[in-house]
Structure 1
Amino acid sequence: MAHEITKERRAALVRLSAQIGVTFSELSLLDEALTHPSYTNEAKDAVPHNERLEFLGDAVLELASSTYLYAQYPECSEGELTKMRASLVQSETLARLARRLHLGSYLRLGRGELHNGGADRQNNLENAFEAVIGAVYLDGGWEAAQDYVTRQLASEVLSVERTHVARDYKTALQEHIQQKRHVSIVYELTGETGPDHDKRFTTRVLISGQPMGEGTGRSKKEAEQQAAAAALAEIIN
């Protein structure tokens, strides 16, 4: 359901929609996509926040990026396409794209979150980027959302050629130490944060019982890869 938007906020959102190349029939969707839960918690009126749109946008992003890569790289295997997609939609990439669009300056944040640098926090920017995708999808449908995602990822795709696929750090770590006998590698989940639809997992890798690296990701597999990368950096350096 659409909610009321002030004249000043509407003008700002119109400028942003022109900047990102999307015309919204329902501008309140874009407003919702850029409203952090901390703002809603402090607001006196029932202002919706962006968690539901982020959930939807995450799914649209995965399908749109998968569709693009499938068509763009017909020679790549399923495993290669999966790694390429992971490189495209990782948290750092989405936050960087959000900064390029200046989404942080349009985010509505609670006083505490704003004071603590929430407008440039990676997690907030990543979620806002995905929420905007969700808003574009609800407002304009699949074709509009696919076009928007493709345009936003275009500059990143150039660096995700087959020879630049994200490394499998777990395999690289295994290969690096496999010549040593009686050396074990164990990945241990040490923490989980966030709601069910936006979990963050923290994992550490132990080599022969000694902790050698820690990583965080949106899945256990991603966290393990980051932990393996940290261990490799520690061993090599």
Structure 2
Amino acid sequence: MATHEHHGQQQSLQNEAAQELLDKLGNTISPELLIHALTHRSFAHEHPGMPNNERLEFLGDAVLELVSTETLFTVHPDLPEGELAKMRAKAVSEEALSAIARDILQLGPFILLGNGEKDSGGADKDSILCDTVESLIGAVFLEHGIEGARITVHRLVDATLAEVATEGPALDWKTSLTVKAHELGRGEPRYRMQVSGPEYQQIFTATVFLGEEENSLAEAQGSSKRKAQLAAAQQAWHSLSEHGQEHGEAR
């Protein structure tokens, strides 16, 4: 009897937690579809016959891109296509969506992972968090169409869309650094890469040089080559900006 009661309490806690997640999404999703949206391929692999969330993620990715594009197009009537594309890329990037998964949805504990993936910290991996946000958006679209999906996407992404609009060079630090270097009559940025750490948790270090200059301008680390280069470009851009201002004042 006690076990039965315990199971009932557990079930009720799970239901409450699921309801909290749905409240944050601003929408309802049927229990079956919600489980489908939260099922990572590693879990499905260990439970034959269970569908994983990759098709939903594929659908959600397109819905997210459409609604984000629609928002940027409406909110920024004067911006050219290139700027809008950069803003959208930043707002729906793995980095941005995994932050939404952590900060807004507290999604990690809900994701159904296989044992190996669970043991290696899969519930906090950017790629898995990002994909699951997209699959949830796909599930909302399936149940409520584009109108319902708009509600969820606006709720999750509008703050990020507003933020990227104010970031300027942060939309693409590497491009911004190249432009800044040209403005100051310096050479083209080049990146020297180093990799350290074990295979499953590599750390990339990017060092930025300008043209043929021997002295490096900045150095930064990241969990991928791209992240390390962007972080180094960001530091280098700030360094050049300060340097440019000093020279301007000296004149």
| Alpha-carbon separation, structure 2, partners of 1:163 and 1:19 | 26
Task: State how 1:78-227 maps to structure 2 within 5 Å.
Answer: 78-99=81-102, 100-162=104-166, 164=168, 166-178=170-182, 179-180=185-186, 223=226, 227=229
Say if 2:67 is the partner of 1:42: no
Q: Is the 8 A contact 2:181 2:188 kept in 1?
A: no
SS of the residue corresponding to residue 166 of structure 1 reads: helix
Please give the alpha-carbon distance, in whole angstroms, between the structure 2 residues aligned to 1:160 and 1:185.
24
- Percent identity between the two aligned chains: 38
The structure that is helix-richer by fraction is: 2
Query: Is the Cα–Cα contact under 8 Å of residues 178 and 188 in structure 2 kept in the other structure?
Result: no
Note the aligned Cα RMSD (angstroms): 3.6
**Structure 2 Cα separation of the partners of residues 62 and 216 of structure 1:** 25
Alpha-carbon distance between aligned partners in 1 of 2:230 and 2:27, rounded to the nearest angstrom: 40
5+ residue gaps, structure 1:
1-6, 189-201
Is the CA contact (8 Å cut-off) linking 1:76 and 1:162 kept in structure 2? no
How many residue pairs get matched? 211
Structure 2: distance between partners of 1:126 and 1:67 = 21
Report if aligned partners of 2:60, 2:136 keep a CA contact under 8 Å in 1.
yes
What residue identity is the alignment partner of 1:48? Answer: P
Change (3 A) 1:143 1:232: closer
Q: CA deviation digits over 1:64-85, x for unaligned, max 9?
A: 1000111112122212212221
For residues 57-100 of structure 1, give each alpha carbon's deviation from its aligned partner in whole angstroms, at most 9, with x where no partner exists. 11111111000111112122212212221221121211111112
Match of 1:30 among 14, 31, 34: 34
Offset of 1:176 from its aligned partner? Answer: 4.6
Q: TM-score, normalised by structure 2?
A: 0.68
1:215, CA displacement in angstroms?
A: 7.6
TM-score (structure 1 length as normaliser): 0.72
The answer to whether the 8 A contact 1:91-1:123 is kept is yes
Task: Measure, in 1, the Cα distance between the counterparts of 2:81 and 2:180.
Answer: 26
Q: Show the counterpart of 2:64.
A: 61
Segments of 5+ residues of structure 2 without an aligned counterpart are 1-9, 193-203, 241-251
* Contact residue 34 and residue 132 of structure 1 kept, 8 A: yes
Counterpart among 69, 74, 87 of residue 71 in structure 1: 74
Give the deviation of 1:14 after TM superposition.
Answer: 4.1
Tell me, in whole angstroms, the C-alpha distance in 2 between the residues paired with 1:116 and 1:163: 34
- In structure 2, the CA distance between the partners of 1:32 and 1:206, relative to structure 1 (3 Å rule), is farther
The amino acid that maps onto 1:62 is E
* Larger-gyration structure (1/2): 2
**Cα distance in structure 1, aligned partners of 2:188 and 2:157:** 39
C-alpha change, 1:163 and 1:35, in structure 2 (3 Å) is: closer
